Amino acid sequence: MNATATGGGVAEMLRGLVPFQHAAWAVIAGTDEFYAVTKYLHHLLHGQADPGRLDDPAPLATYRATLAPQTGWFARFLSPGDVVVLHDPQTLGLAPAVKATGARVVWHCHIGAEVAPERGPGAVWRAFDTELAAVDAVITTLPRYAPPHVRDRHTIEPAIDLTSPKNRDLTEERVADVLAGIGLTTGRPSAGVTVLQDEPLPRHARVVLQVSRWDPLKDMPGVVRAAAGLPDDVHLVLAGTDPTKIPDDPEGLAVFTEVRALVAALPDADRRRVHLVANAEPDPEQNALVVNALQRRADVVLQKSLQEGFGLTVVEAMVKGRAVVASNVGGLRLQITDGVNGLLVDPADLDGVRAALRRLLDDPALRRTLGERARAGVLERYTMARLAEDYLKVLR
Ligand code: UDP
């Protein structure tokens, strides 16, 4: 069970994983107030919110009241001996009700950060004491993301589906067709995808790409700032799911608006080289194809997150043999060894980020070498088959 059927890494991963398991997938329903609370919990686990607000019982009352009426519905499908995997804080509140059916409860928390417990995670663990007591096992990407008092703790790295429309091979012609179809290279409006740009992306431009939700922690505004000052033929493409389409991401619109304002204020010559892609394509396959084509068109893929539980977009770029510049934080560090299969940067150091981008943009041989190693590493470590096997070990 998770919070959303599309948008974000968990939905992406479940889409690939469920066919590998004897499993069903259910999605909870929420309200704006509920998602405001879960976003706050998300920020707390990243040490980016005031833990004091949890002293007020109102947010958690809203959270529990939203989930409570949903427990009866899925309990009907469960029998003793079943295993229910609850993903992320949005669904953790269901743990006691699931446990009461006799099913085993696994909480897979995909987020986390290297922050002291008192900066946020500790408050979450205290507030969710009852729910965590009903959890039989917890899975995180890194050991230190786990709540300390759940005894059965596992770490599992995510995976991507190599055969999915997001990752399967595309010819250059197909990439060109998809990007023309959304208007990025033609300027023609398309139904599912909005591209905000002064002019279409030129054919021979070098492209730096960041794909992510418009979440403050992905630092899209910081990407615009870091890309200013790159050579004249380098274009920046920022692509993310249309911020109005992800229910559990209430801050997306504000970030998107901030990015638009930042881009509008750039000098003409810089603004011409920025392309904002808001992907509202309703067909998941088409949606994935757009991301696939963008990643393949990019010369360098950037992931300038301030915090990152894991960062599927980076694995997706790596499997396409792209050269990646990623922040030296959280799960991105698991995937990239600096100078071996990508470059790691301090996301707060804009000059450092720009220098890393320039280093790769100016050195096609280095891009190729890093990209080839990146692809080989992903094929070895991040496949769905491996993820399904890891799950079996926990579920057994
Ligand atoms: N994604 C997408 N369409 C978009 C932007 C992102 O399908 O317009 C996908 C992206 O390809 C990746 C997921 O959303 O599979 C994001 O996962 P990640 O782990 O990078 O970040 P999260 O959103 O889970 O924090």
Domains belonging to the chain, first-starting first, are 9-155 (3.40.50.2000), 172-382 (3.40.50.2000)
For residue 102, report the distance from its CA to the centre of ligand 1, in Å.
34
What pLDDT, on the 0 to 100 scale, is given for residue 166?
95
For residue 218, report the distance from its CA to the centre of ligand 1, in Å.
11
Question: Phi/psi at 222 (nearest 5 deg)?
Answer: -65, -30
What pLDDT, on the 0 to 100 scale, is given for residue 245?
78
Residue closest to 309 by CA, chosen among 33, 121, 32, 36: 121
What pLDDT, on the 0 to 100 scale, is given for residue 300?
98
For residue 239, give the ligand 1 atom closest to its CA.
Answer: 8
Coil, strand or helix: which one is 29?
coil
For residue 10, give the ligand 1 atom closest to its CA.
Answer: 24
**Residue 362 CB-density burial (10 A; 0-12 exposed, 13-18 middle, 19+ buried):** exposed
Question: Phi/psi at 182 (nearest 5 deg)?
Answer: -85, -5
pTM: 0.91
Per-residue pLDDT of the chain (396 residues; tens, 9 = 90+): 999 998 788 998 999 999 888 899 999 999 999 999 999 999 999 999 999 999 999 999 999 999 999 999 888 999 999 999 999 999 999 999 999 999 999 999 999 988 999 999 999 999 999 999 999 999 999 999 999 989 999 999 999 999 999 999 999 999 999 999 999 999 999 989 999 999 999 999 999 999 999 999 999 999 999 999 899 999 999 999 998 877 777 889 999 999 999 999 999 999 999 999 999 988 889 999 999 999 999 999 999 999 998 999 999 999 999 999 999 999 999 999 999 999 999 999 999 999 999 999 999 999 999 999 999 999 999 999 999 999 999 987
CB distance 199 to 187 below 8 Å: yes
Nearest CA to ligand 1 atom 11: 313
Residue to mutate (ligand 1; options 212, 238, 308; most atoms within 8 A of CB): 212
Cα–Cα distance, 307 to 326 (Å, whole number)? 11
Pocket of ligand 1 (CB under 6 A): 8-9, 12, 166, 211, 213, 239-241, 279, 287-288, 291, 310-313, 316
For residue 151, report the distance from its CA to the centre of ligand 1, in Å.
31
Strands of the sheet with 274-279, listed across from one edge: 193-196, 274-279, 234-241, 206-211, 300-303, 323-327, 343-345
What pLDDT, on the 0 to 100 scale, is given for residue 202?
98
What pLDDT, on the 0 to 100 scale, is given for residue 395?
84
For residue 283, report the distance from its CA to the centre of ligand 1, in Å.
15
Task: Tell me the C-alpha to C-alpha distance, in Å, between residue 353 and each of 226, 303, 363, 382.
Answer: 6, 10, 16, 26
For residue 93, report the distance from its CA to the centre of ligand 1, in Å.
24
What pLDDT, on the 0 to 100 scale, is given for residue 235?
98
For residue 358, report the distance from its CA to the centre of ligand 1, in Å.
25
